[in-house]
Amino acid sequence: MLNQSRILIKGGKIVNEDCSISSDVYIEDGRIKEVGLNLQIPAGVTVIDATDKLVIPGGIDTHTHMELAFMGTKAVDDFHIGTKAALAGGTTMILDFVIPQRGTSLLEAYDRWRVTADAKVCCDYSLHVAVTWWSDKVKKEMETLAKEKGVNSFKMFMAYKDVFMLQDHELYAAFSQCKEIGAIAQVHAENGDLIAEGAKKMLSLGITGPEGHELCRPEEVEAEATQRAITIAHAVNCPLYVVHVMSKSAAKVVSNARRNGRVVFGEPIAAGLGTDGTHCWHKDWAHAAKFVMGPPLRPDPSTPGYLMDLLANDDLSVTGTDNCTFSVCQKALGKDDFTKIPNGVNGVEDRMSVIWEKGVHSGKMDENRFVAVTSSNAAKIFNFYPQKGKIAKGCDADVVIWDPKATRKISAATHHQAVDYNIFEGMECHGVPVVTISRGKVVYERGQLKTQPGQGRFVPRQPYAEFIYKRVNQREQVGQPSPVIRKPYDGEIIHLHAGP
Ligand code: URP
Ligand code: ZN
Ligand code: ZN
Ligand code: ZN
């Protein structure tokens, strides 16, 4: 009888973010127990042959919205189907967003997300929490979440006016609190006031279709908010993470800020790296609506390649998907008015293959950078490295056996997600996950999923991630402005007279 919790992966090439080595990996009880050649292994273990394959850390998707209630409906990929699909694509952990309604408790929303997700997840997960309004209670709850609930990242919206959007003074307060409690501030960077005005203008021009979504929020609307968020974060010495960087203009802003020494990280998503916004001009309304998300996929077809270049060169740091899926009949809520089309696209299943195809197969990045941007950097920024994001003794056994030469064609007909289309439909990808191991269990093997709802675990995260806070803390000590010491002024002063 083979022991399912003891696995030997033989003959593969281990790829970490810093180097690749030919080596075997021995897994026991959910952890990587040994890495090396000629290992002394107990009898009866399950042996997996990885000859000619890569052995990589499981993918970490930094940005999902499973079963999110949003724009009057609910995302169709729930925590069960969504995490199963993730595993089939080589992703072994997701970070989802708790999004409380304006005026409601962050802690209560967090508890609801935990109850829902804990029962359903098939892979490990963690939670970011959105700050959708501001008050002393919110400030206090952020502290409790960081100290007691394993949350070290908070998302602030600069868009969705009157729903989730914060004003600049509220961003200042929220960023200050993030810094105070050792968290990282995340922003949805778009100018919500300009979007609201732009939407009115497009509708008044009779533009009601999906193209109106991009036309009312062109690139500079994203770039301006990105720059504003960076400026506010710098004013309070708070590390910043820009979620879903979708345009060349916004990516340039992040890149320039990094070159000017700002502690800022940019997250492009699979959709933005693998496709573009030209689809929103398609004559078939349903086809066009599938691609509506915020910030929009850009109609400039050079955008995906440009974002990939920046990702390859560390101007952008990490990849997510913003997986927030609405089927066509849900998108149809906005058939006569693009502002009512539920925003969101798929990606959680296909991110790894899309990035391999457009990043590694294209020659823009090597296999090590692939691991950095799909896994290790996320674990470092969100503070669970090297528990995850690395193949080494003692790490969680979230491991993918990756065939860099195999190909697959992406299609809604074969994907595991609940949504009834796929924005990457027809894309031929090199780079296929052959086996996925989650916490030491084979959960996906050559097309077969073997997983149960609730099999994944919540991963709590500590504040003050060293990867970002070493610089922040040092700057705090040496970067305080000080007054010029001078003699008091003792000359004449004019007299001011009260009244007109
Ligand atoms: O279109 C999107 N991005 N939907 C999900 C909500 C968000 O802003 O991330
Ligand atoms: Zn967002
Ligand atoms: Zn199209
Ligand atoms: Zn999102």
Nearest residue (CA) to ligand 1, atom 3 = 294
- The C-alpha atoms of residue 323 and residue 369 are separated, in whole angstroms, by 23
Average pLDDT over residues 176-194: 98
pLDDT in the model for residue 1: 62
Nearest residue (CA) to ligand 1, atom 5 = 344
Q: What is the DSSP letter of 316?
A: S
- The C-alpha atoms of residue 311 and residue 443 are separated, in whole angstroms, by 30
Q: Bridge-partner residues for 34, per DSSP?
A: 26
Of 100-109, 164-173, 212-221, 472-481, give the lowest mean pLDDT range.
472-481
**Ligand 1 environment, Cβ below 6 A:** 65, 188, 244, 293-294, 322, 324, 343-344
Phi and psi at 355, nearest 5°, equal: -70, -35
Average pLDDT over residues 151-158: 98
Question: What is the 30 CA–ligand 2 centroid distance (Å)?
Answer: 33
Average pLDDT over residues 64-73: 98
Percentage of residues in the chain having pLDDT higher than 70: 100
Torsional class of 447: left (φ above 0), alpha (ψ -120 to 50), beta (otherwise) = left
Question: What is the 160 CA–ligand 1 centroid distance (Å)?
Answer: 10
E strands present in 341-481: 399-409, 428-438, 441-445, 448-449
Average pLDDT over residues 86-102: 98
Question: What is the 299 CA–ligand 3 centroid distance (Å)?
Answer: 11
- The C-alpha atoms of residue 289 and residue 281 are separated, in whole angstroms, by 9
Q: State in Å, rounded, how far the first CA of the chain is from the last one.
A: 97
Looking from the CA of residue 188, the nearest atom of ligand 1 is 8
- The C-alpha atoms of residue 4 and residue 2 are separated, in whole angstroms, by 6
More confident residue, 435 or 2: 435
Whether the per-residue pLDDT at 117 is higher than 70: the answer is yes
- 236, 179 Cβ separation under 8 angstroms: yes
> For residue range 437-471, what is the model confidence (pLDDT) as tens digits?
999 999 999 899 999 999 999 999 999 999 999 99
Angle at 361 between CA 358 and CA 362, to 5 degrees: 60
> For residue range 53-62, what is the model confidence (pLDDT) as tens digits?
999 999 999 9
Helices (H), 236-314: 248-259, 270-274, 285-289, 303-312
pLDDT in the model for residue 215: 98
pLDDT in the model for residue 263: 98
Ligand whose nearest atom lies closest to the CA of 301: 3
> What is the rounded average pLDDT for all residues in the chain?
97
Whether the per-residue pLDDT at 499 is higher than 80: the answer is no
Positive or negative torsion for Cα 354, 97, 113, 334: negative
Whether the per-residue pLDDT at 2 is higher than 80: the answer is no
Band of pLDDT at residue 46, cut at 50, 70 and 90: very high
Q: What is the DSSP letter of 334?
A: G
Band of pLDDT at residue 498, cut at 50, 70 and 90: confident
